[in-house]
Amino acid sequence: MHDKAQQALTTTPEVMARVVCTALLAGPLTYDEGARVLERVGLAQPVQQALDDHTVCYPPSLDSAVLEPLYPDRLAEDFLALQSPGSGVDGWPADPWTAKAACHFVTPDVENTMVLFPVGSMRAIIILVDTAHRWPHVGESQLFPLLREHPWLARLAGNRALLGLAELPGIDIATLQAIEAIVPLSQHDAWADLGIAAVAQRLAELRLAAATAPEDVADVYTKVFQPLHHAGLRAEALAANAKALEIYERLANESASFLPHLAGTLNNRAMLLHSSGNTDEALQLAEAAVATTSDLAGRGMAGYEHPTALGTLSAVLSAVGPVGDAIEAAAAATQAWQEMTSRHATPGLALARFGHASLLLRAKRHEEALVAADDAIARLRELTYGDPTAYAPDLRVPLRCGLKHWQSRDEPRKQLPRLLRAPSSISSWRIPMSAGSVWRRSSRIFL
């Protein structure tokens, strides 16, 4: 106990074991933070005395810190697993308190419609994932029930936790589906893209094992495409898309009801090939997608597939042909989105508008580009206030378009303040419960 060996410890061994488990989950914290954590997990002993005694036994490596974890990590994970009921190890009495400690610790609070995740939440999830790899009962009794109830915790913990979760042999499909449902796996999130792709692949394996109808198999391959694409796994994404495309081509020949699925699959492949530099094949597929969606419109079955396909065609044409052709396709995409009255078409219209603005700027049609960019900024600003994760990055293009316009007219000082009212930097935002996302940067406020 170093220089404090003579200090009498009043914390009982049972309570000290609980503090050791809490320290493993939470990690080193300030004194006030550590006290709040021990209060959350419901220790029966005075918190101040428990912290002081733990500091004597486990001197902090950081000045003014408390709750120094037990090291090395594997020893600490073994201790947590043995303290948890269900280890199957004879001669080591488990503590039922441990089974609920993590849940009490990481369960988020709600204040004024804001979700506040306790300090140390991400570390706790990562520790539980790592422990569950060698001690399955920790996953079954603690980790999986916790994530089914609060799947945002896995998302916030990022790639490390998600990759580990996807590799757990005993993870159930309900837990993976809970993570998928809280934010669609198709949404781009650099903090978690690789982990999201791993979760999507694991879900695809489980779903394929249960799928029998061709349309169900195609749907599985379609759902896994976007996560693989966002993670940079292009070969895997193309392989999944090819399998879906093969099935939908066959099904569309049998029933027109599968034409929307075929159009979407063609569009996805064109988009990925375009981003990979394979513009010739991408152009063929984009044209096929537009032809399919035009067929849908003729049948009175038009939906989001048509403006989406036109937008992809515009992007491909901008790389392979005269900019005028790309502008024409972009204008058609914008018009198609405007004809859709649902509020869910707003993101598509906003993105189509700024794509159109970029092409107009490239053609030196500055006044038209300015109008389109202003409209895109207004629409994206409204969307970003509700969902910062999904739309804030998209503001960069219309902002850049507007800036280039005014720089070309030597008027930047006059116009910059208006442009910069757009929330392009929102690292201090909180998490609205009504929003469909939790942003990693926002989580730093609470973690």
The burial class, CB within 10 Å (0-12 / 13-18 / 19+), for 392 is buried
Lowest mean pLDDT among 21-30, 151-160, 164-173, 424-433: 424-433
What's phi and psi for 408, nearest 5 deg?
-70, -20
pLDDT digits (tens, 9 = 90+) for 272-284: 999 999 999 999 9
Q: What is the mean pLDDT of the chain?
A: 83
Q: What would the mean pLDDT of 286-308 be, rounded to a whole number?
A: 90
Residue 321 has pLDDT above 90, yes or no: no
Per-residue confidence (pLDDT) for residue 437, from 0 to 100: 29
What is the pLDDT confidence band of residue 139, given thresholds at 50, 70 and 90?
Answer: very high
What φ, ψ does residue 111 adopt, rounded to 5°?
Answer: -135, 120
Q: Which two tokens stand for residue 289?
A: 């997608």
Is the CA virtual torsion 421, 423, 426, 430 positive or negative?
positive
- Retrieve residue 323's tokens: 């900019």
Query: pLDDT value at position 388?
Result: 59
CB 419 within 8 A of CB 399: yes
Q: What are phi and psi of 186, to 5 degrees?
A: -80, -10
pLDDT given for residue 342 in this prediction = 62
Q: Name the burial class of residue 403, with classes exposed (0-12), middle (13-18) and buried (19+) by CB atoms within 10 angstroms of its CB.
A: middle
Q: pLDDT-derived band of residue 71, with 50, 70 and 90 as boundaries? A: very high
Q: For position 443, what pLDDT does the model report?
A: 29
Task: Name the residue ranges covered by the structural domains of the chain.
Answer: 2-167, 345-447
- Listing DSSP states for 368-386 in one string gives HHHHHHHHHHHHHHHHHHH
Cα–Cα nearest to 227, from 190, 188, 254: 188
The tokens 């978690």 sit on which residue? 192
pLDDT (0 to 100) of residue 383: 72
Q: State the pLDDT at residue 187.
A: 61
| Model confidence at 105: pLDDT above 50 | yes
Neighbours of 408 (CB within 10 A): 12
Token representation of residue 143:
């980790």
Instruction: Give me 59's structure tokens.
Output: 């001197």
Highest mean pLDDT among 123-127, 430-434, 436-440: 123-127
Q: Is the per-residue pLDDT at 368 higher than 50?
A: yes
Confidence at residue 394, expressed as pLDDT on a 0 to 100 scale: 53
Which residues have CB under 8 Å from 104's CB, separation 6+? 40, 41, 42
Average pLDDT rounded to a whole number, residues 222-238: 94
Interval 255-260 mean pLDDT: 94
CA-derived radius of gyration, the chain: 27
Residue type, 183: V
β-strand pairing of 29-30 with 65-66: antiparallel
pLDDT tens track for 166-180: 999 999 999 999 999
**Residues with Cβ < 8 Å from 354, sequence gap 6 or more?**
372, 373, 376, 377, 380, 394, 397, 398, 401
**Portion of the chain with pLDDT greater than 70, in percent:** 80
What end-to-end distance do the CA atoms of the chain give, in Å?
31
Indicate the Cα dihedral angle 296, 301, 307, 308, nearest 10°.
-80
Average pLDDT over residues 187-197: 83
Mean pLDDT over residues 44-57, rounded? 90
The reported pLDDT for the residue numbered 108 is: 82
Q: Are the C-beta atoms of residues 314 and 299 closer than 8 Å to each other?
A: no
Three-class SS state of 66: strand
Of 254, 350, 339, 252, the closest CA to residue 302 belongs to 339
pLDDT score at 112: 56
Single pTM value for the model? 0.80
Instruction: Calculate the alpha carbon distances from 25 to 134, 252, 253 in Å.
Output: 17, 52, 55
| Mean pLDDT confidence for 242-263 | 96
